[in-house]
Structure 1
């Protein structure tokens, strides 16, 4: 884990850290060799020739930022989630949708 991402997760409330680590691991498992981790827009970001996905912890949700094209492409799978043009709100009270997160990352990687 990149030092800055580690610090980001450690700075979050203890009650959220395990879920954030799970989210991080779910994304990392999909990333190819040679990818880069960084903080961009104040959030953990995964980069491979371009930004692939970001995530963040907020007051009442986790934000996942795969980009507007990806959100539009997965609109059917996202119908039970609050979304905006570029963001998906994930409930802090429900298990993370790991399979969906993997699909989002894979889709963005295929677009490169």
Structure 2
């Protein structure tokens, strides 16, 4: 399955250039429509869960922050990588056990429905963590 709009070689060259995508829209535009659509669903789910979230590019991928980065995601040939951090992965371990996951990340295969409700719940969990960290620092 080809996941990049201009082929992997062209995408790899863009990524190897000193320039990273300037926006989430630019990042998404490097992928074929099916992958763009899946990532757009993830993006909208995050923004609906936390309307005040700010989109940025961090580590060359879309990131969403309020005080600090809550979550990241990235597109790949066969999955979307979702990066909420270790505490969120641990808190939702039962929900993600059917997916490939690691300490701070989970992979959602593109040949299955993207679990948008799970992404929403994880994002809200991260927002609560972020707010608590800010409160603790203010005290």
Same-fold status (TM-score > 0.5): yes
The ranges of structure 1 where at least 4 consecutive aligned residues each deviate by more than 6 angstroms after the TM superposition are none
* 1:106 equivalenced with 2:127 (yes/no): no
Deviation at 1:36, TM superposition (A): 1.4
Q: Residue 59 of structure 1: CA displacement?
A: 2.1
Deviates more, 1:36-45 or 1:13-22: 13-22
1:42 Cα offset (Å): 0.9
Unaligned residue ranges in structure 2 (runs of 5+) = 1-21, 131-139
Distance 1:31 1:77 in 2: 21
Deviation at 1:13, TM superposition (A): 1.8
Q: Say which one has the larger Rg.
A: 2
- Stretches of structure 1 that go unaligned for 5 or more consecutive residues are none
Which residue of 71, 94, 104 corresponds with 1:76? 94
Query: Structure 2 length normalisation: TM-score?
Result: 0.75
Out of 36, 39, 42, the position equivalent to 1:20 is 39
Secondary structure (helix, strand or coil) at the match of 1:77 reads helix
Measure the CA separation in 1 of the matches of 2:49 and 2:57: 18
TM-score normalised by L of structure 1: 0.92
C-alpha deviation, 1:15, in angstroms: 2.5
Aligned equivalent of 1:39, options 26, 48, 57: 57
